[in-house]
Amino acid sequence: MSFEGEFDRKMLEAMVCPVTQSTLRYDAELAELVSDSAKLAFPIRNGIPVMLIGEARKIDA
């Protein structure tokens, strides 16, 4: 579970991008899980990752 805005690193290791099935990078500053390969950032709300493509933010990097 998340505490005070921090994301559980063990949960991150088990999660993959729903588009590319690639690993995700945790951005603590923006509270997002980032898929560099899909160029999408998935929000983390109240400690819960929202892995819906429609909720993802497109990124340039």
Distance CA 2, CA 24 (A): 17
Which residue type occupies 6?
A: E
Asked whether residue 31 is domain-assigned, the answer is yes
User: What's the rounded Cα separation, in Å, for the pair 54 and 57?
Assistant: 8
If one counts every other C-beta atom within 10 angstroms of the C-beta of residue 41, the result is 22
What is the residue-level pLDDT of the chain in tens, covering all 61 positions?
443 445 566 777 789 999 999 999 989 899 999 999 999 999 999 888 999 999 999 998 6
* Among candidate residues 1, 6, 31, 34, the one with its CA nearest the CA of residue 20: 34
Read off the CATH number of the domain in which 33 is found. 2.20.25.10
Domain presence at residue 1 = no
- The answer to whether the CB of 2 falls within 8 A of the CB of 8 is yes
The number of folded domains in the chain is 1
Domain hosting 38: range is 9-58
pTM (two decimals) = 0.81
Q: Quick check: is 2 in a domain?
A: no
